[in-house]
Amino acid sequence: MIQLGRQVYGLAAIATGAVGLAWGDFAAVWQPFPDDAPARPSFAYAIAGVFLVSGILLQWRRTASIGAAACAALGLMFAFFWLSMRLVTAPQTYVFYNGVSEQLAIGLGGVAAFASLSAAAWAPRLALVARIVFGVCCVVFGGAHFVYVNETAAMVPSYLPLGGTIWAQVTGVCHAAAGLALISGFFALPAARLLTLMFIGFGALVWAPQILVASAEGLGGIEHIAWAGNAINLSLIGAAWMIGDMIAGARTS
């Protein structure tokens, strides 16, 4: 069975790696890393290189398991850094829960790809865990749209009808509903597909235009954030797509 989600997830890893290599740094908003770590710039280049190579490996079934495992490990690593460097220090701050969930969701895309490719007896259990935990992440995303409704509304293009606040709330509900469907297993496949479309919409309407604006104005660090943000959003697209492919594959096997 062809898993287009795996290819998209791999392209996102390539994009993440390319951005890291171009700027020689982590995407600090999304990828926390200890500032006092020895040889931190070298780690940034090395991890970017792993993302790039892993994304290439994901394009071919024969090598995809290696790439999937590496991407899963990197996503889980950054989720751990969100937890240990930010969430533990300020557990009352909701955005830190969102940060952990975002990197965890990206890592789970790799877990889903790995589980889908494996013929091991434990692969279905791994797939189940990936689906449920990904659903929990989506519920957290939905909550963030309400906790930070003003900030989310400000990202909505002004030309859309109804206003940014309505769209922030509607997409928050959609995130939470998709998450609950994935957790429960009821309508999990359509939930994953619709979630993927929503992430694609975010990319087209919110993130892609930021590249054009930042590049035109030569905003340096802001340009880095724009490119990194697009790579992260593409990673979420690929992860959600891969979760859907995993669910679909389990139904046909």
pTM: 0.93
Could you identify the residue written with the tokens 């990828």?
31
- The domain limits of the chain are 4-252
Count Cβ atoms within 10 A of the Cβ of residue 222 and give its class: 0-12 exposed, 13-18 middle, 19 or more buried.
Answer: middle
How far apart, in Å, are the Cα atoms of 55 and each of 11, 75, 81, 104, 111?
A: 6, 13, 22, 17, 14
What string of pLDDT tens digits covers the 253 residues of the chain? 457 999 999 999 999 999 999 988 888 689 988 888 888 899 999 999 999 999 999 999 999 999 999 999 999 999 999 999 999 999 999 999 999 999 999 999 999 999 999 999 999 999 999 999 999 999 999 999 999 999 999 999 889 999 899 999 999 999 999 999 999 999 999 999 999 999 999 999 999 998 887 776 655 567 888 899 999 999 999 999 999 999 998 766 5
Q: Which residues contact 225 (CB under 8 A, 6 or more apart)?
A: 27, 29, 210, 214
